[in-house]
Structure 1
Amino acid sequence: MLIIQLSRCWGPLGKRCPSSQCASKRGKFASRCKCSAGWTALADCIFDAPGLDRTRSVTDAYLFISSSISLLSLIKPQLDANVQEAIYRNILAYDKVFPLRCYGNNSFIHYLNGHFQNFSEFLTLKDTILQIPSNQLLEVLNSINPSELADLLSRPGFIDDNKILIRLLTYYRSVQNLVTFIDDFNQKSQDSQLTDDNRAAILEVLWFHFTTVLSDLNDTDVEEWLNVRLQPYLLFITTDLLASNNTLTIQCLPYRKM
């Protein structure tokens, strides 16, 4: 079935056209050329979600898309960067029609890697969060263990929206162990080229957590927080954080610890 649909989308597989035709006669020739335009046209046709919705059940449509992603993932090394990006964008567009299709309380990270396959390298924080319906956010975050989240956020270039990062970590601390996450993340993100804004956003969440639990910490714990856990971020502390209600309401003894 997949091969039949690919043939409809692309015409005779393997047919080559002169590069000049690919460049100058998009439409009639581009969909039959083994060049960037041809691959892009193929991807656009495969991910024509409205067309799929009219002719197939939701389950059949999803199975077809999954098979198509698997096939395109196998040939990804042969495609140029623009075509790879176009395929990734098509997957995102399809996911807007069927968000979290066939995701069921298992690890969300495993779901992402299985769904996007070799195209998961294009994932960003904003694209990832936009796939999750707001009423399922806590459920999804609860499925991600601290090590998995550290892996995801430490991918080079993954963090592309600091407001979303703050929101994510704020929600995450309510369902998972934030301390385990940040210890793991600090090790994995040493070479991930975090921006100053990234570090400031992370500090905002960590500082709130630290000042909340400070009164329960012993001297060794406080030293670990200040000299190890928060160390990569303290350069970006602001007067707003120091003058926040959380900080100003700390009792004298724990404040001296800090």
Structure 2
Amino acid sequence: MLGPTEVRRLAEELGIRPTKKLGQNFVHDPNTVRKIVSAASLTEDDVVLEVGPGLGSLTLALLPAAHQVVAVEIDPPLAHRLPQTVREHDPENAGKLHVVLKDAMKVTQEDLPVQPTAIVANLPYNVAVPVVLHLLHELPSLRKGLVMVQAEVADRMAAKPGSKIYGVPSVKLAWYADARKAGPVGRNVFWPAPNVDSGLVAFQRHEKPLSTVDKAKLFKIVDTAFAQRRKTLRAALKSYLPDVDELLGKAGIDPQVRAEQLSVIDFVRIAEV
């Protein structure tokens, strides 16, 4: 495990100053990474995808618990140093690690040496939701995940219909998986400490797709409905669906409700008709 001293030493060796642009806040608390790995419910057969491994704190905790770990890192110095860090701290499991130098938002199946079954990651706050949605779309082998994100984002990702924080991230993640909050994470476990608290979100992919409806069409309806969330569904969707009353009637949806009251299944019914 990497403690505060090791994290700062490695960063100094590489000449790295954590940047907000890349969302770099390195975990330096061993108890936190153990908590994350435990909450991820990994099996010895799981191939874990870690996005943004940074200096390797979480990577070192994942390797003994998984069959293999694929670490996707956008920062070249960090990507090139990670295998050496693992060999120094856990040579027995070093052969399980695969490092991919790539922007996670551009990763496809072809970029990975093995197909992951789980994602476990401390995600950059500014791209957390897009990264999760992109990977669930691109990697059908992903069955489950546990990600650390900004606390407010965690709330939104796991929110249910009827909540004021329920919105686009909630619905789009629900299209792929069942999500739930899996615990808080304080600020003092990071270097540098962020200005906000963090939270864990766990999700399990649906065994079967919710529908064969076109995902792009569904997501467009969701985006449009929440763009004016204070308006009724009829008013919010009218510009995109001129025959909105007829469509909502066929879908069995009350045109006077607001987007935040609809489940992902309700939005699927609208898209289907």
TM over 0.5: no
Q: Quick one: higher RCO (CA 8 Å, sep 6+), 1 or 2? A: 2
Q: State TM-score, norm by structure 2.
A: 0.26
Bigger share in strand: 2
Q: Which has the larger radius of gyration?
A: 1
Bigger share in helix: 1
